[in-house]
Amino acid sequence: MLILALDVVDHERALKVAKDTAEFVSAIKVNYPLVLTAGVDVISELSEIRPVIADFKIADIPYTSGLIAKIVFEKGVRAVIAHGFVGRDTLQEVRRVASDYDGEVYVVTELSSTGGKEFMSEHALEIAKLAESVGCDGLIAPATRPDRIRAVKSAAPSLKVLCPGVGAQGGSVEDVMKAGADAIIVGRAIYNSPDPRESARRYFEELRSVREKIDRKDGKAN
């Protein structure tokens, strides 16, 4: 599954990239850069093109976190992303709000950047287990460190794992999928390419061929 990280800071361009790539993209992840420039209603516009994941990295006390989740679910998003380091009470509240909208909750374990290793790595597996016990739907894990994808996957086997860091940050589709990822999240390598639609198509095809390779290998092993 391919998720487009639409960190474009121009409203019209964002809509154009979303429409041009829609055929190959399962969901659109919206982050602060777009909403702070185009306004929060861009979420509703994008939701008419593909399901939107609101990536506002919710990390506050339960009351405020729940409020943020409610506002974006009211705008039509399919899922929200919360930080895991905030602890059980906040995740429970976000989960509760999401359930009112039949929505999903994804939880960040450790960031894909080098700084993600400074504080977050140490607790990433506890966060993964917490997210599973709270009934969240999935985790965000770094495409830049496939060994960490494997680790969170085995800590919380029932959760989906979505991985940013492919392309501009150097992660490879094959390594990430072999590590057990359910989806890759790609931004700049698509929206900054001269032909975003073609770039999305190439990621889509690469995902399909890697998936087939993995399935063939699993078939042989069984």
| Residues in 5-64 that interact with ligand O7E by CB under 6 A | 5, 7, 31, 55, 57
Residue 55 catalytic? yes
The Cβ of residue 129 has, within 10 Å, a number of other Cβ atoms equal to 15
- Is 108 a residue that touches ligand O7E (CB under 6 A)? yes
Q: Are 107 and 131 in contact (CB under 8 A)?
A: yes
Q: Which is nearer to ligand O7E, 8 or 97 (CB)?
A: 8
Side chain identity, residue 222: N
124 labelled ligand-binding: no
Give phi and psi for 59, each to the nearest 5: -155, 70
Residue 57 catalytic? yes
Strand ranges, E, within 92-202: 104-108, 138-140, 160-164, 183-186
Q: From CA 33, how far away is CA 194, in angstroms rounded?
A: 21
Those residues with Cβ within 8 angstroms of residue 211's Cβ, 6 or more apart along the chain or in another chain:
177
Q: Quick check: helix, strand or coil at residue 120?
A: coil
| Residues in 118-177 that interact with ligand O7E by CB under 6 A | 140, 142, 164-165, 167-169
Question: Binders of ligand O7E: how many residues, by CB under 6 A?
Answer: 22
Location of structure tokens 């994804």:
106
Among 34, 38, 185, 207, binds ligand O7E (CB under 6 A): 185
Q: What is the DSSP letter of 23?
A: G
Those residues with Cβ within 8 angstroms of residue 140's Cβ, 6 or more apart along the chain or in another chain:
81, 106, 107, 108, 109, 161, 162, 163, 164, 185
Residue 60 catalytic? yes
Which residue out of 57, 70, 117, 160 is catalytically annotated? 57
Q: From CA 117, how far away is CA 122, in angstroms rounded?
A: 8
- Is 196 a residue that touches ligand O7E (CB under 6 A)? no
Minimum CB separation of residue 196 from ligand O7E in Å reads: 12
Q: Which is nearer to ligand O7E, 5 or 98 (CB)?
A: 5
Minimum CB separation of residue 187 from ligand O7E in Å reads: 3
Q: From CA 169, how far away is CA 112, in angstroms rounded?
A: 8
Q: Which is nearer to ligand O7E, 5 or 97 (CB)?
A: 5
Q: Which is nearer to ligand O7E, 4 or 213 (CB)?
A: 4
C-alpha 136: how far from chain center: 13
Minimum CB separation of residue 132 from ligand O7E in Å reads: 17
Q: Which is nearer to ligand O7E, 31 or 193 (CB)?
A: 31
The residues annotated with a catalytic role in the active site are 55, 57, 60
Residue numbers in the known binding site are 7, 29, 55-64, 112, 164-174, 187-188
Q: Which residues bind ligand O7E (CB under 6 A)?
A: 5, 7, 31, 55, 57, 81, 108, 111-112, 116, 140, 142, 164-165, 167-169, 185-189
